Amino acid sequence: MPKKINLSLIITLVVLVFLYLPILAVVGLSFNTSSNSLIWKGFGFDWYQNIWTNEPIIRSFQRTIFVALVTTFFSLLIGTTISIGLNKMKAGGFLRTFSTAPAIVPDLVLAIGLLTTFSTISLSLNLSTVIISHTVFCTAFVVAIVLARIGLMDPSIEEASTDLGAGPFKTLFKVTIPQLMPALIAGAVLSFTLSMDEFVIAFFTNGPETPTLPMVIYSMIRFGVTPEINVLGTLLLAISFVGVILAQRIGKVADSI
């Protein structure tokens, strides 16, 4: 009897290779000791050490992390407030759609709009305009995630808190927010990773003095893919991965309570 060929397994493997080969190439080549990233010379951490001494890169890396952290904070704050408000108002589809629209508006449109707005009110472009811009679209993602969770919450639970004598603030911090925790964690991780590797909007709304990491990579890449770029790509990937895994861990704990 001829051995049966498992076609679906083959297709799955092909698709997986297609999806992950580029990522593996970046990670693998980041350990290349050669100064030409396309010629394999040997395995080593040479370029990782090299990066630490490259001040423009390290500075832009710090800026990117700073922007991502501040963006995450404000997106969570604003997004959660909007979600709780929409839920309390029993707002219909119109307001809900509007609150999540910046997530699906093309980045380019958002970037042009933000730049126009900033120049109209003569705001000088620097990291704070990047943070404002990133907060606009990250907030939309937070709203989408938190609204989904809040809809699953039993509305009687907040009433029970009031019935048992708690004021609105105690109800918010002791009852509502703890129940939204898994959504807040997911929203935070998403905001952070979205902001960290965001290029188009940052490119439009940033000043020339304070480039973020994606902007620095873009300017470097005009001279070809250097080994530094592979290293930076690997580092960004690692940060995203750690964030997602942490979120899943904490989310699981938060979900079980």
Partner 1 sequence: MSEDLLKVRNLTKKFGTITALNNVSLEIKNNEMFALLGPSGCGKTTLLRIIAGFEYPDSGQVLINDSDLLSIPTRTRPVNLMFQSYALFPHMDIFSNISYGLTNTSLTKEEINNQTNEIIEKIGLGEHVKKKPNQLSGGQQQRVALARAIARKPKILLLDEPLSALDKKIRQEMQVELKRIQHEFGITFIIVTHDQDEAISLANRIAVFDKGEIKQISTPQELYENPTNEFVANFIGEGNILKAISTNSGFEHPCLGKVNISHSMGAGKSVTVLIRPESIVLSPATTGAGQITDAVFAGAKKNITIKLTTNEIMRVYADKSANLEVGSHVNLSFNPQDVRVF
- Give the binding site for partner 1 (CB under 8 A): 154, 156-157, 159-167, 170, 174-175, 178-179, 181, 257
At 200, which amino acid appears?
V
Is the Cβ of residue 154 or residue 209 nearer to partner 1 in the bound state? Answer: 154
Which neighbouring-strand residues pair with 32?
A: 43
User: Least distance from C-beta 142 to partner 1, angstroms?
Assistant: 20
User: Least distance from C-beta 123 to partner 1, angstroms?
Assistant: 42
Is the Cβ of residue 132 or residue 175 nearer to partner 1 in the bound state? Answer: 175
Is the Cβ of residue 184 or residue 236 nearer to partner 1 in the bound state? Answer: 184
User: Least distance from C-beta 163 to partner 1, angstroms?
Assistant: 5
User: Least distance from C-beta 144 to partner 1, angstroms?
Assistant: 23
Q: What is the torsional sign of CA 189, 57, 223, 42? A: negative
Give the separation between CA 229 and CA 9, rounded to whole angstroms. 34
Q: What is the phi-psi region of residue 120: left when phi exceeds 0, alpha when psi lies from -120 to 50, beta otherwise?
A: alpha
User: Least distance from C-beta 146 to partner 1, angstroms?
Assistant: 16
Is the Cβ of residue 159 or residue 238 nearer to partner 1 in the bound state? Answer: 159
The C-alpha angle 55, 235, 182, rounded to 5 degrees, equals 125
Residues 6+ apart with CB under 8 A from 245: none
User: Least distance from C-beta 87 to partner 1, angstroms?
Assistant: 16
Residues 6+ apart with CB under 8 A from 107: 137, 198, 200, 201
Is the Cβ of residue 165 or residue 208 nearer to partner 1 in the bound state? Answer: 165
Helices 227-256 and 55-89: angle between axes, nearest 10 degrees: 30
Is the Cβ of residue 164 or residue 238 nearer to partner 1 in the bound state? Answer: 164
The two structure tokens encoding residue 225: 């893919």
End-to-end CA distance of the chain: 54
